[in-house]
């Protein structure tokens, strides 16, 4: 029996800077090598039939980094969007983005908008979801404000607010929650990433830094997921008897 694949994989791509520093290289070289890992893992996810791949690419906290590094990251993102546009189209990959996108430089937003519009068509086989200038606490605050405004306008009763309604007001309202979260470089924290959406997500942590994370490491994470029993609060006996 083939182990089940996750429908939605989310990845905290950590360790680019440390990878470079360990080799006596500028931190930006780690980010450049990390972009190659993004290409490899996106292609493999598409080939395997994973429906959604979310990559934590740049957090709201990352704006605090040195200006030169932030500038280099934005230029790298712009280059990635231009270089990978045709491959996304050829492989029926839809590009989405979540986060405070208005904080991105204008030239990055323009490239991002172009690729999202071009890939948003029929025949999509996979969604590549980039978390850019993203922070989960800020995301939830926006959702709360949006719901409060609906209540104030009389469109929604407070008693009618459900988990489903709240989830639909998040940036990820159009996506299923992640089944598997992968974090590279050995850190054991969520780093303000999808705090609501990860409630029942299986977590896989590897010491491998993101620039060294390739197809073999991705397969190991998927194999580990396939051995997990997802109980969602039930007992193992209940799951075996009747599913989720």
Closest to 53 in 3D by CA, of 103, 4, 111, 98: 98
- β-bridge mates for residue 10, sequence order: 54, 181
User: Which residue in the list 14, 16, 129, 177 is annotated as catalytic?
Assistant: 14
User: Which residue in the list 62, 91, 146, 192 is annotated as catalytic?
Assistant: 62
Q: In angstroms, how far is the first alpha carbon of the chain from the final one? A: 19
Closest to 95 in 3D by CA, of 49, 144, 42: 42
Closest to 208 in 3D by CA, of 180, 189, 186: 186
CB atoms within 10 A of CB 196: 16
Closest to 199 in 3D by CA, of 142, 136, 118, 116: 136
| 14 counts as catalytic | yes
Distance in angstroms (rounded) separating the CA atoms of residues 28 and 120: 31
| 62 counts as catalytic | yes
Q: Which contacts (CB < 8 Å, 24+ apart) does range 64-73 have? A: 69/27, 69/28, 72/28, 72/31, 73/28, 73/31
Task: Count, in order, helices (H) and strands (E) of the chain.
Answer: 8, 6
Give the active site residues: 14, 62
């Amino acid at each position: 029996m083939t182990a089940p694949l996750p429908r939605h994989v989310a990845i905290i791509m950590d360790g680019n800077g440390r990878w470079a520093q360990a080799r006596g290289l500028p931190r930006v070289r780690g980010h450049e090598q990390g972009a190659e890992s993004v290409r490899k893992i996106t292609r493999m996810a598409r080939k395997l039939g994973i429906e959604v791949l979310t990559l934590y690419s740049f957090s709201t906290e990352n704006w605090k980094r040195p200006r030169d590094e932030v500038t280099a990251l934005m230029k790298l993102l712009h280059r990635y969007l231009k270089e990978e546009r045709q491959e996304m189209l050829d492989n029926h990959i839809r590009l989405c983005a979540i986060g405070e996108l208005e904080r991105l430089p204008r030239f990055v937003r323009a490239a991002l908008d172009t690729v999202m519009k071009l890939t948003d068509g029929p025949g999509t086989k996979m969604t590549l979801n980039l978390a850019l200038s993203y922070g989960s606490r800020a995301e939830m605050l926006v959702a709360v404000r949006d719901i409060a405004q609906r209540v104030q306008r009389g469109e929604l009763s407070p008693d009618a607010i459900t988990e489903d309604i709240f989830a639909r007001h998040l940036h990820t309202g159009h996506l299923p929650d992640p089944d598997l979260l992968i974090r590279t470089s050995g850190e054991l924290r969520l780093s303000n990433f999808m705090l609501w959406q990860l409630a029942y997500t299986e977590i896989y942590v590897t010491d491998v830094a993101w620039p060294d994370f390739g197809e073999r490491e991705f397969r190991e994470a998927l194999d580990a997921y396939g051995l997990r029993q997802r109980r969602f609060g039930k007992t193992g006996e209940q799951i075996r008897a009747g599913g989720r």
